[in-house]
Amino acid sequence: MEFKYQDAEMSIKDINNYLKDKSSGGNFSVIDVGASANPHFADNCDVLLDFVTPKGARDKKFFRGDITTEEGWKEVLEYVDQHGKFNFAVCKQTVEDLHRPEFVFQMLERVAKSGYVGVPSKHNECRRNREGIPKSMGLSHHFWVFVTYDNKLYALPKLGWFDLIPYDQLNFTDKLARTELGFFWNDKIHMKIVLPYTRTQWTEFPDGYLDPFLEKCLNGTQHPRHLWVNILNNSD
């Protein structure tokens, strides 16, 4: 997967240009997943999937479904059975809102050969006072902060103590223009959900869970909040 930080508005332009270029050669099918709020790619996609009818895209094929459930993908899977996988899937500024991002990634793999995913960057999700609440970080309807390290994607759940992370302990707050973390994928989306556990005599991590990055970030932590700070500061 290829990861890139950039301005979220700029990524809309870049992805539309990418889709136009690919479709100019013909036979390049595209599905936009989670497009209802902002169908930015309606002019360059064939199918849209969401639980609310998108505005300004009524001439496009639309499937209504909750993308966090198998049932929500039923019609799209039937379409894929008939027509084959889409060449490309766009899922931008969506999975951070969902309880099951890993499930959505699995379904994207089932319906498309490749795609683009865009999520709020850690820089954006750790900004204070975005909703007029001075001590809050990010947006309250977002459940995850996504980070990368060594070309791997990690998802940190925004737990109740997330807003208590001292802002002055974060070392990347000077890069707030990086509002989106985006990546292209082919065949498979690799992501690890970080567990809010530190090392104690009772902690047993699942087999294969720990890697050198998480091992490093766990060192010396006494509370999951400290682990989150280490991951946020040491990630790319």
Predicted confidence at residue 5, as pLDDT, reads 92
Query: Would you place residue 134 in the very low, low, confident or very high pLDDT band (cuts 50, 70, 90)?
Result: confident
Alpha-carbon distance 153 to 135, whole Å?
A: 27
Q: What is the pLDDT at residue 57?
A: 63
- 193-206 pLDDT, tens digit per residue, is 999 999 886 788 99
Strands 152-157 and 47-50, by their bridges, are unpaired
Q: What are phi and psi of 4, to 5 degrees?
A: -150, 135
Residues 184, 90: Cα–Cα separation, whole Å: 9
| Model pLDDT for residues 6-50, shown as the tens digit of each residue | 888 889 999 999 999 999 878 899 999 998 888 899 899 999 999
Average pLDDT, the chain: 92
Q: Which of 172, 174, 173, 162 is nearest to 226 (CA)?
A: 162
Q: Across-strand partners of 180?
A: 6, 120
Could you give the CA distance from residue 208 to residue 31 in angstroms, rounded to a whole number? 33
Domains of the chain: 2-196 (3.40.50)
Q: What is the dihedral of CA 55, 58, 59, 62, to 10 degrees?
A: 100
- Which residue from 164, 129, 159 is spatially nearest to 142, judged by alpha carbons? 159
Pairing of strands 144-149, 88-92: unpaired
Q: Measured between alpha carbons, how far is 63 from 55 in angstroms, rounded to an integer?
A: 14
Amino acid identity for residue 183 in this structure: F
Per-residue pLDDT reduced to its tens digit, 154-198: 999 999 999 989 888 998 866 666 899 999 999 999 999 999 999
State the amino acid at position 7 in one-letter form.
D
Measure CA 46 to chain center: 22
In angstroms, the CA 45 to CA 38 distance is 13
Q: Which pLDDT score is estimated for 168? A: 87
